[in-house]
Structure 1
Amino acid sequence: MGILKKITGFFINVFVLAWDFGLFIINILTPSLKPGHVVPAHAAGHHLTWPEYVPPKGDDSRSACPMLNALANHGILPHDGKNISFKELNTAVRQTFNFAPSFCFFVPKFSADFLNRSYWTGRFDLAELSLHNAIEHDASLTRQDAALVPDQGKPDLKLVDDLLKEATAKMPDGSPLLTIPDLSRALSKRRKDARKTNQAYSENLFHNIFGSSNSSTMLTIFGGRITDLTPMLTEERFSEQWEPRVLSRFGLTMAKFNGTVLPVEWGAKSKTAEH
C-alpha cells in the first residue's frame, strides 16, 4: 500500500504542476480582473465588505499562519477553527485570497498527507497545521520557534514590528511598502537570530523555501502594503475594504509565485553569506 500511495502521489503532483502551468499561460492570455471585483460575487468579502472580525477566545484553535487564522476570525472558516474539511479550506483560500485552483488543491493536499488523512474526506483543527517542520518551521517572521513557544497560534508582536520596520519603499501616498530585498533581509536576520536563541533550531532547503513562500504572500497577495499587513500580522484580520492585490483571472499560480519566492530566498542566502 505504501508503494501504491507513493505512485499515486507522484502522478497527482505531475497533474497539479501541469494544471498550474496551464493556468499560468491562460492568465497571460486573458484580461485581468478589475480592482474591486477580485473576490467572487457569492463569496465573503465581495465588494470589499468582510464579515465581522471576532478575536479567538477560550479553546478556539489557531495555526501558525496569520491568513488562515484571519479566515476563522472573520467567520469564513468556522470561528472555533475546528473540524474543518480540506476541501472547505481549498474553497475559502481560493475565494478569499485569489490563489489559483491548482495552488489551493496542492497545499491542503500536502497538509492532509502530513497529517495522515484523506484530502477528500478528512478534517482537521487549525492548530494541527502547526506540526513542527511540516509547514510550520523555525525562523518564522511572525512566531518564535516552537521549541521556545509551543503554542504557535498567536503572533509575536515584537517579531512582527521588526518585520514591518524593514520596509524601505513608499506607496504614492507616502505609506511604507515592503520589497523583495526588504523581505530577504528580514529572513536573513531572523534565521541568524533563531540559530543563536534556539538550541533545537533546524533548517534545510525545504524549510527555507517554505519560509520564503509563506513570507512572499506579503508581497503578492498583499502587495507589500504595510497598511494592509499591519492588521493582518498583529490582529490577524483584514483591513477595511481590503482585497487581494493579485488580479490574475485564474489566481496566483505556483509558477507565477516562484518568480517572487526564488529571488526572496536567494537574497536571504546572499545576505547570510555576507556575514
Structure 2
Amino acid sequence: MQKLTKPFIDVFVVTWDFVLFILNLILPAHKPGSVIPAGAPGNNGQWPDYVAPQEGDSRSACPMLNALANHGILPHNGKNIRFRDLNTTVRQTFNFAPSFCFFVPKFAADFLHRSYWNDRFDLADLSKHNAIEHDASLTRKDSALVSDQSKPDLELVQELLKGATGTSSDGHVLLTKRDLSLALSRRRADARMSNAAYSESLFHNMFGSANSSTMLTIFGGRVSDLEPMLTEERFASNWEPRILSRYGLTMAAFNKTVLPVEYGVNVKKFK
C-alpha cells in the first residue's frame, strides 16, 4: 500500500511546498524576536533548562534533534516519540515550513518501516546507517569507525568552525557556502582514506549537503550560535531561527543553499 501511495504523497508535498514558497514571497515576514510562536519553548529567547543526556537516554546523529531532547522539548530520554509530534516540534522550534516538517519525519518513518500516522520511535533509531545518518558527516566519525553516533566528535566540529571566513554586518563570524563546500570536500576525502567501508552516492552527498546547509539557513552561519549546538547540542541564550519567512524554510528555498554547497564540493583538492 505504501508503494502505491508514495508517488501521490510526494507530488502533494512538492506542490504544497511550492505554494508556501510563493506565499513567503508575498506575505510579510516575522519580525526578529517573534519567530517562535507565543507559548512555545524558546519564545522570546526563553529556552527550557539544558540537561545533558544521562545513561540510558536515546540520542541520534542529528545535533538539532538531540538539543530538543536535552532541553526537554522532546522527551529528555529521547524515547517513544510520535512521528507526528516531531513534525509540530520541529516546525515551532526551527521555523521549517510545514511541508518540510511533514516530509522528513515521513521519510524517517518509511525507512524504519513504520507508520508516520500511528507509530513512535526513539532518537537512536534515526541513526540507521545510510538512511539519514551517512558517512563523511561534519560532526561525527563514520559509523564503521565509531559505533555510537549519538555524540559529536569535537575535533571535527572545531575544524569546521575554525574554517569560517565570513563576517556579518554586526561583526559575527559566519560560515559561508564556500566554507561549507570546502569542509565537505576535505571530510569526504578523509573519510574515503580512513574508512575501508566508506560508502557514497548522489543521494547521500545531497543529504549531507542539506544537513550541513541548515547551519547556513536556520542558524545564519553564526559560529557563536553553532558552537553550543554542535559541541553540547544546546541552544545558545536568546537564540531564535534566522529564517523569518512567514511559513518557514521551504524545500524550494532551501535548495538555493544546498545546490551551490554541493556543486562547490571538490574532493580532488584533498587527494
Give the TM-score, by structure 1 length: 0.97
The CA RMSD over aligned residues, in Å, is: 0.8
Of 114, 131, 136, the residue aligned with 1:134 is: 131
| Structure 1, unpaired ranges of 5+ | none
Match of 2:106 among 109, 118, 122: 109
1:68 aligns with 2:65: yes
* Counterpart residue number, 2:81: 84
Matched, 1:36 2:45: no
Q: Aligned partner of 2:60: which letter?
A: S
- State the partner residue of 1:151: 148
Which consecutive segments of 4 or more residues in structure 1 shift more than 4 A? none
Q: Are 1:122 and 2:119 an aligned pair?
A: yes
Q: Is 1:227 the equivalent of 2:224? A: yes
Deviations 1:59-113 (A, max 9, x none): 1000000000000000000000000000110011000000000000000000000
Aligned to 2:171: 174
Deviation per CA, 1:144-170, whole angstroms, max 9, x where unpaired?
Answer: 000001110000000000000110011
Partner of 1:201: 198
- 2:261 is aligned with 1:264: yes
Q: Distance in 1 between matches of 2:4 and 2:19?
A: 23
2:202 is aligned with what amino acid?
L
In 1, Cα distance between equivalents of 2:267 and 2:150 = 28
- Residue 95 of structure 1 corresponds to which residue in structure 2? 92
Distance 1:15 1:173 in 2: 41
Secondary structure at the counterpart of residue 264 of structure 2:
helix
Question: Is 2:204 the counterpart of 1:191?
Answer: no
Give the deviation of 1:9 after TM superposition: 0.7
Q: Is 1:26 paired with 2:23?
A: yes
The one-letter code sitting in structure 2 at the alignment partner of 1:214 is N
Mark the runs of 5 or more structure 2 residues left unpaired by the alignment.
none
* Equivalent AA in structure 2 for residue 183 of structure 1: L
CA-to-aligned-CA distance 1:122-160 (integer Å, 9 cap, x gap): 100000000000000000000000000111000000000
Of 230, 235, 240 in structure 1, the residue corresponding to residue 237 of structure 2 is 240
Amino acid of the residue matched to residue 151 of structure 2? K
Aligned residues: 270
**In 2, Cα distance between the equivalents of 1:134 and 1:68?**
16
Percentage of matched positions with identical amino acids? 70
| Match of residue 157, structure 2, among 156, 160, 177 | 160
TM-score by length of 2: 0.98
Tell me, what secondary structure is at the counterpart of 1:33? coil
Question: How far apart in 1 are the matches of 2:127 and 2:137?
Answer: 12
Distance 1:9 1:42 in 2: 35
Distance in 2, Cα, partners of 1:266 & 1:242: 30
Shift of 1:52: 0.3
Cα distance in structure 1, aligned partners of 2:267 and 2:130: 21
Query: What amino acid sits opposite 1:124 in the alignment?
Result: F
